[in-house]
Chains A and B, each alone.
Chain A
Amino acid sequence: MAASTRGTVLKKRRLSLAALRESTTAQGLALIAPTALYLLVFMIVPMILVGILSLMTRGPYGNVVYRLNFDNYTRLIDPLYLRILMYSIGVGAATTLITLVIGYPLAYYIARVPARQRNVLLFLILVPFWTNFIIRIYAWIMILRTEGLLNSFLLNLGLIKVPLDILYTPTAVLIGMVYEFLPFMILPLYTSLEKIENAQLEAAADLGARPLASFLRITFPLSLPGITAGSILTFIPAMGMFVVPDLMGGAKTILIGNLVRNQFLTARDWPFGAASSMLLMFLTLAMTLYYTRKVGFSEDLLV
């Protein structure tokens, strides 16, 4: 009696496991369907629409005429737009480089302090990371305006006689960009630096390596994934950023993000705006794919 019950249970168990394995594909598809459908309808289809729009023609009243045309893409090679593209890449690269130079010592420092202090410092990094980016721009506008805080401070001290005009210059745009994206550089840098085992550095020191040599030959190479991740997280959004150039560059600095936005909202040349947006998207995707191939996607990058 007992034995046969056990036998039935075992048989049932085997059956249910087999069923579980067989149903796993169907189950997976059923589970993924709602999310996949959502992203298909609200992400992929709109992007395909942009792709189609980019091949259409602008009508005389800013409407879209459905006539196939590749001019929107050839227009992007026009020196005027090529310059905007180059300038965007330049601003993105400069932002990335400056955030790296400012961020690396901080990330290194945090990775090396005792655990209790480290949690406090990490929290201090998270504060600007999660402070709304419009608010962070606003802070710099308050500081850099002609009648702003920096000028009033320097004038009061008597260090300058005439207020400095920093806001609405390319320098202001760069300051704003660096400030916006610095936390995005620091966090992945910290993540890769924190993983380096102390034992490796001790071994290097035991074998007679000077601190600089052990930094150049151990720490720096091991932090390369963090540098790549931070650079991508900085470069991509910096290139597409249109709010900082608008608010801090006084619409004098035009990046590719501004170009897209202006074509859609003010010039009403949707097909050309769509083509510019496609260009930005392909640049971004190419870099993201390169990164995921090279380093592998790390989930701790996201939060």
Chain B
Amino acid sequence: MKAIICKGLTKQFGDFKAVDSISFDVEQGEIFGFLGANGAGKTTAMRILCGLSYPTAGEATVAGFDVYRQQEKIKKNIGYMSQKFSLYDNLTLLENIEFYGGVYGVSRADIRTRSRELVSTLGLEKEAGKLVAGLPLGWKQKLAFSVAIFHRPRIVFLDEPTGGVDPVTRRQFWDMIYEAAAAGITVFVTTHYMDEAEYCNRISVMVDGRVEALDTPARLKQQFSTDSMDEVFYQLARGAKRSAD
């Protein structure tokens, strides 16, 4: 079964088409890069797929659930992480995990065993009882990702998850993403870093609300006869009429 299916998905604000009839499928377990300049409509499209707003026209299902009628079910089956990491600084590491686990309705016993597992795989046993405020940024980011997939969602949405993090940590972070994908979680990720785009199975590039290109990084480079994703992105985004907001 496909993780995400979009057909002619459109979101219009007055005369302005933020998302202009986009269509694409995402396979289960795939790492799907969702690229586009600021203002291209990525966030709007992602909000619809996360069940935060309704499309104006078109169809879409996420984890098999309809974005018009089954928002609640979508929300139960997805995880979400943004560049702000969204952990509570004055809660300890374990309390953060407990809170998000609780919000997603994970049972108390499961929370206990899984958080123990999680803390040991991250190698954060000593920090488990400490406030998150004192953690280095890279660890916060890894923790935030672990929290986003703590309830074992089918799809995880990552909105520019590596903003402001150094390259080494970013690399480690992508290792975690690969692990999650290997475990069968579909990863839908937006990013500004073209080296990260290369890590994706497939990427789509949005320009002015439309998906202008969609393929594996290798074939896209071939198509635009260049050897860097930067160049691909630049050639596509150059034609954009909307200014970045």
A-B complex is real: no
